[in-house]
Amino acid sequence: MNARGRVLLADDEVHVLRVLDLKFRTAGYDCVLVHDGLEAWDRVHRVRPHLVISDYQMPGLNGLDLAERMFQDKELRHVPIILLTGRGMSLRPRDLALTNIVHLVSKPFSPKSLLAMAQDMLAGSLCGG
């Protein structure tokens, strides 16, 4: 595994995955790419990422449902999630309380800013464990 950490990227838009994969790999992260929520749910158990970046609107299982399932799993509830949403979309505080979603990022977004956000989050969590 790369010293920077492992990031699971989940989005049904191939161009979004390509951009994020390139940005994060160039910065030294190991990336696992998935194209829908059910695939993300399966892979998160096998690859044990340090961070999940997931689109909200995906086939099979949306990003909020993925986050809720992860939060209910004692082995995955500590994994932080950045949820990508459509412009102007918001989630109720109750929904966020049942997840480990730490940031909501509206599309379109800056890959550079998203990387910086992830780096800040992961720097602290990987130093401590």
* Residue 1 domain flag: no
- Domain count for the chain: 1
* Residue 81 domain flag: yes
Mean pLDDT by 10-residue block, N- to C-terminus, for the chain (129 residues)? 82 96 96 97 96 95 95 95 84 83 91 94 63
- Residue 94's pLDDT is 81
| Bridge partners for 114 per DSSP | none
Cβ(70)–Cβ(77) under 8 Å? yes
0.85 exceeded by pTM: yes
Domain that holds residue 42: 6-127
- Residue 66's pLDDT is 97
